[in-house]
Amino acid sequence: MTRLPKPQTEEPPAESPRSIGGINIDPVPATDLGKKSVARSLPVHRPPGAIDEFQFLIGCTRCGDCITACPYDAIFKAPDRLGNIASTPIIQADTSACMMCEDFPCIASCKPGVLVESIPPVMGTARVTEHLCLAHHNTTCTVCGERCPVEGAITVADGKPTINEDTCTGCGVCRYVCPAPENAILLMPAFSRPGRPHV
């Protein structure tokens, strides 16, 4: 598995404001009242290669082909209680994580093209909750680092794992395998994803 870059958002972010000790020293830009605000939705853990959520919901036909195509049963139909995303494909790493196949059969199976190969397969990001992690309790445990399918996403130093958020794809394998009494991996879906590429 090669190292994957983070997805490029459509507009490159402005340079982050300069700060001293966390205190902003740049002038605050004026509010642009002409700019439309985007409808807000809760982030959803989508299969790899999913396009921007707004476009995804418009494009996805709820056909279930990606669910059938996944060799690891990692993709589910979202339950009805989730309102407007009901029946769309989601990943629940606690039950079965995305195994980051090299050829992404889910993407290949998507006819409406809401899962696409041309954007990086980044579903979200994971983080180690240190006070729950057994290795951080000084007992031996290295499962997440061993089973992570993305090279370089988890580094183990001094027996303790850290997740490199620039490399992590949010596949959820580490969350799925974590044997701590209370799961020590916090898995967050991507807050925004790139839009449908212009072909």
Partner 1 sequence: MSQSMQTLSHDRRQLLKASALAAAGSLVTGGSLPVVQADQAVDDLPTGEGMSWNKAPCRFCGTGCHVQVGVEDGRVVAVAGDKAADVNKGLLCVKGYHVGGILYGKDRLTEPLLRQEDGSLKPIEWDEAIKIIAKRIFDSPETFAFYGSGQWTIPEGYAAQKFMKGGLSNNHIDPNARLCMASAVTGFLGTYGVDEPAGCYQDLDECDVLITWGNNPAEMHPVLFSRVTDRRSRGENVRIIDIGTRRTRTTDAANDYLEMDSHGDVPIALGIMHLLIENGTYDKSFVEKHCNFRAHPESGKTLFGEAISEDEFRKRIAEYTPERVSELSGLSVEQIRMLGDLFGDDDVKITSLWCMGMNQHTMGTAINTLVHGVHLLSGHFGKPGDSPTSLTGQPSACGTVREVGTLAHALPGGRIVANPEHRQQCEGFWNIPEGRINATPGYHTVKMFDQFTIPTDEGGDITTMFVQVTNPGQTLPNLNKLFNDKKNLADKFLIVSDVYPTPTTELADLILPAAMWVEKNGIYGNSERRTQQWFKMVDPPGDARDDTWMTIAIAHKLFEMGHEGMKDKDGEFIFAVKDESGEEVPIWEFDRYYDTNVDKHLFEEYRQFTTMKHKNLAPYDEYVKARGLRWPVVEQEDGSWRETKFRFSGFDDPFVAEGEEFDFYHSSTKDGRAQIWFHDYEPPPEMPDDEYPMWLCTGRVLEHWHTGSMTRRLAPLNRAMPTGYVEMNMEDAKAANIRQGEKVIVESRRGSCELPVWIDGRGRPPRGTIFVPFFDETKLINNVTLDEHCPISKQPDYKKCAARVKKLSEAES
Q: Which residues contact partner 1 by CB under 8 A?
A: 131-132, 134, 137-143, 146, 159, 176-182
C-alpha to C-alpha distance for 177 and 172, rounded to whole angstroms: 9
| Cβ nearer to partner 1, comparing 37 with 138 | 138
| CB neighbourhood size of 7 (10 A) | 15
| Cβ nearer to partner 1, comparing 113 with 159 | 159
The least CB distance from residue 37 to partner 1, in Å, is 37
The least CB distance from residue 103 to partner 1, in Å, is 15
The least CB distance from residue 185 to partner 1, in Å, is 12
| Cβ nearer to partner 1, comparing 63 with 143 | 143
Structure tokens at 29: 């830009």
Which H helix or E strand runs over 126? Answer: strand 124-128
CA angle 140, 122, 89 (to 5 degrees): 105
| Cβ nearer to partner 1, comparing 29 with 181 | 181
C-alpha to C-alpha distance for 107 and 36, rounded to whole angstroms: 31
The least CB distance from residue 172 to partner 1, in Å, is 12
